[in-house]
Amino acid sequence: MGIIVPAIIPTSREDLERKVSQLRGLCEEVQVDIVDGKYARPASWPYATEAAEPSRMLAEGEMLPYAGEIGFEIDLMSADPESVAGVWIELGAKRLTIHAESTRYLSRFLESARTMFGHDAGFASNLLSLGLAIGTETDLSLIDPFIEKIDYVQFMGVRTIGHQGEPFSPGVLSRIAVFRKKYPNTPVQVDGGVTLGNAPALLEAGVSRLVVGSALWKAPDLGAQYRAFDALTEQYGIYG
């Protein structure tokens, strides 16, 4: 499992395919941000173009691009995750991140997803990993009732989710420290505002995965920038 996970907010299916192709050979996993334009804005593909496209892909036997080579995590920023999560899992996602405040039926959703697609399905022990994302202002206690039902927690590193380039919120580091003291065995990842400058502090804080967006895509050389991030991780152990 990779420590550095590139993030893609696709504007179209072609944009997703192009960016994933750029990452082949560099990394093992990619996070795709699916933004519905309601829970978060602006909308990304497919909501920005044709919301039914993933269902059509599934009906035609297609998968996410290079799904056999790249492990996909879907960060589902949706006001109705219950109705749309399944199609992304069937398209090849191995990790599914749900935002803790996106649904009133979180417990039911987690049970359903795990039963249908995850460990309880009996197909494979690692068929699907489920995680909860929490915002920079979200009360950490919101996670407590669900900690036994999830595989990881994603701390958002920026206040406004759904787009790339916002600066990192420094208070996230102290929130991670509080969480890790309470739940030392639950893996933590951070998404949003991750840079070469703050990556060492995040890794020292016990973060096991760094989801990196604009710091990679805005770099003059994507490959060189990814390798610079990857080199940092050699100095730190993997937590959780």
pLDDT per position as a tens digit, 133-168: 999 999 999 999 999 999 999 999 999 999 899 999
What's the rounded Cα separation, in Å, for the pair 216 and 19? 11
Residue 46 has pLDDT above 70, yes or no: yes
Average pLDDT (99-116) is 90
Amino acid residing at 206? G
Residue 123 has pLDDT above 50, yes or no: no
pLDDT in tens, 192-206: 999 999 999 999 999
What's the rounded Cα separation, in Å, for the pair 85 and 67? 17
Q: Which of 133, 124, 233, 149 is nearest to 192 (CA)?
A: 133
Helices (runs of H) and strands (runs of E) counted in the chain: 8, 8
Angle, helices 106-117 vs 81-90, to 10°: value is 20
Residue 234 has pLDDT above 90, yes or no: no
> 4-233 maps to which CATH number?
3.20.20.70
pLDDT in tens, 76-107: 999 999 999 999 999 999 999 999 999 999 99
Q: What are phi and psi of 65, to 5 degrees?
A: -60, 130
What's the rounded Cα separation, in Å, for the pair 89 and 170? 33
* Beta strand 188-191 pairing with 209-212: parallel
Report residue 118's pLDDT band, with 50, 70 and 90 as the boundaries.
low
Report yes or no on whether pTM surpasses 0.85: yes
